[in-house]
Amino acid sequence: PGRWGNRRLRRFLADARAGIMSVAEARVHEILHGAKLTGWEADIPIHDELGIFARADILFRAARLVINVDGKAFHGPDKFQYERDRANRLAAAGYSQLSFTWDDLTLRPHHVVGQIRRRLAR
């Protein structure tokens, strides 16, 4: 206790336990909690008959809705084909997905909530 860095370490561990793997994912959690949206889980593996092929940043399991947080740093051009294959496998496994950028999360959180609510209402 009282050592330099402990507060940051405790925050990091709490975030990891909550399934938060990035600042953008933390922002999604804030948006979902602020909108009082429930029924979601974070950092959930998705599998089909071939095994685990993706991790959902956010999963609304009952609606089979995957929420992706896309960032240029993590999802660069080399990941283009991987992302297409992942999207196709999600669709084949019966999932729909919504993807949001950092600008969506920071400049248009109402847009994020609106799209999720509309998809959940279907």
Tens of pLDDT, residue by residue over 45-72, are 999 999 998 889 999 999 999 999 876 6
- Split at pLDDT 50, 70, 90, the class of 22 is confident
pLDDT, tens digit (0-9, with 9 covering 90-100), for 65-98: 999 987 665 556 677 788 888 899 999 999 999 9
Q: How far is CA 67 from CA 3, 70, 117, 118, in A?
A: 37, 10, 12, 13
- Split at pLDDT 50, 70, 90, the class of 13 is low
Could you give the CA distance from residue 108 to residue 104 in angstroms, rounded to a whole number?
A: 5
pTM: 0.78
Which residue do the tokens 């669709």 mark?
Answer: 91
Residues in the chain: 122
The three-state secondary structure class of 37 is: coil
